[in-house]
Chain A
């Protein structure tokens, strides 16, 4: 059974710093991995989708990497801003499954 884990559960960093959020999964037979942002009490905003055949995806200041063999993905945020404060979720989709399996998220706080 696929388990998705995100460490740390919470992170505070000063504005302007680059940071990395970690996601690990137990079953490497994933089809793709998606990173989301969730603001308090709000829905999920898709940030990046990495297919299993890809190593990384970039969107603006965000870069997500995927290493299937080690069961890891990272989300790199460059030059962090207070507006980046949110919970970041990663979710893995298994081969032949409709559903995506979520981690519990990392709650990020950027200090002005």
Chain B
């Protein structure tokens, strides 16, 4: 069964460093998302991406974040200058269509900022 994959599973970085989290969505899906979950808190929406552009973003998704689909398979989240409070589990998701379609989530990347 097709699934969303994410790499790395765990990333440790120092405050101020740039990180890139990678995702491979399900191949026939057209909509891509990033969510994060700070330990013990709710899963929160960051951004959605369709047709090579951001279609919606939350207030969390400020200028230090960016997303890209560099080729036909990968979808990346870049954090330019990490802060301690960026430590969280980051989930990528994809869906075939927009409304009415399930979002399928990857296993997540645990980001630890020290």
The interface of chain A, by Cβ under 8 A from chain B, is: 31-32, 34, 36, 41-46, 49, 51, 89, 91, 93, 95-105
Contacts and interface: CB of A to CB of B under 8 A. Distances in A.
B75 to A, nearest CB: 14
B103 interface: yes
B92 to A, nearest CB: 9
Nearest to B92: A43
B107 A43 contact: yes
B5 to A, nearest CB: 10
Given A49-B102, A98-B98, A102-B43, A42 B56 contact: no
Given A34-B102, A44-B43, A93-B99, A99 B48 contact: yes
Contacts, number: 55
B56 A97 contact: yes
Interface of B: 6, 31, 33, 41-45, 48, 50, 55-56, 58, 91, 98-100, 102-108, 110
B43 A91 contact: yes
Given A91-B43, A100-B45, 12 more contacts: A31-B99, A32-B100, A43-B91, A44-B43, A44-B91, A46-B104, A89-B43, A97-B56, A98-B45, A99-B33, A99-B56, A105-B42
A42 B102 CA distance: 19
Contacts of A42: 107-108
A46 B43 contact: no
A41 B89 CA distance: 9
